[in-house]
Amino acid sequence: MTTDTKELVFLIDDDEAVRDSLGLLLEQAALRVSAFASAEEFLSGFPDVPATCAVVDLMMPGMSGLELQEEMERLGIAMPVIFLTGHGDIPTSVKAIKAGAVDFLTKPVKRSELLDAIELARQEGERMREHAKRSHTAQERVATLTARERDVMDLAIGGLANKEIARRLNISHRTVEIHKARILRKTGIRSVVELARIVADATEDAPARRG
């Protein structure tokens, strides 16, 4: 059995003619396409497989493109989104981009514009996967800390000096130093600044996302 190694793009648009024309365009660019006639159809039949991005019509009967983007976020479907619309306007495009869309293209979209947007989505997808991997590793590291080590860590990344941490926790200055040394060893880091980044990664994306 052979495996199709072409990158997969989800296409969600209620216009069959658009799905057909864009599907052909993407296939000619050596991409696989999985097309859906509505946001609801996409969500109900969502194949949990790696995909480069979702190309989504903004205005559809039922759930709109922006509502689909919000639902994907809620469900933990981490995937770059490119919006297509025949009714583009600046406020809507700004809202879409702020919500995490890679691009906002007006129909009829040019081949070069769409393929450029998909390339940006590919890069964004790599960043998202790397962030998810880093976040998972951070969660595992932080989970190894004891309750007291967590207390010391929280105060340390809050900018408190060892003496103030000792006073807050009613422990000795030396005990704080021991706890911090253990924290650095368990998390595999070298500084409080890096520790703060790890903690941010550990809390930002839990639970893990799909996509």
Residue 57 sits at φ, ψ, to 5 deg, of: -70, 135
> In whole angstroms, what is the distance from residue 79 CA to residue 54 CA?
7
User: Domain count of the chain?
Assistant: 2
In a domain, 1, yes or no: no
Amino acid at 124: E
Q: What are the counts of helices (DSSP H) followed by strands (DSSP E) for the chain?
A: 9, 5
Q: Which of 79, 97, 128 is the last residue of a domain?
A: 128
DSSP annotation of 9 reads: E
Dihedral class, residue 76 (left if φ above 0, else alpha if ψ from -120 to 50, else beta):
left
Q: Which of 128, 159, 180 is the last residue of a domain?
A: 128
Residues in the chain: 211
Q: 0.95 exceeded by the pTM?
A: no
Q: What is the pLDDT of residue 42?
A: 95
Q: What is the pLDDT of residue 203?
A: 64
Find out whether 52 and 122 touch, Cβ atoms under 8 Å: yes
| Mean pLDDT per 10-residue section of the chain, whose length is 211 residues | 68 95 95 95 85 92 92 87 79 68 87 94 84 75 89 90 93 93 84 77 52 47
Pull the structure tokens for residue 88: 């583009």
* Co-location of 124 and 186 in the same domain: no
Burial label, 101 (beta-carbon count in 10 A; 0-12, 13-18, 19+): buried
| Domain CATH code at residue 99 | 3.40.50.2300
Pull the structure tokens for residue 7: 């990158």
- What domain range is 75 assigned to? 7-128
Q: What is the pLDDT of residue 39?
A: 96
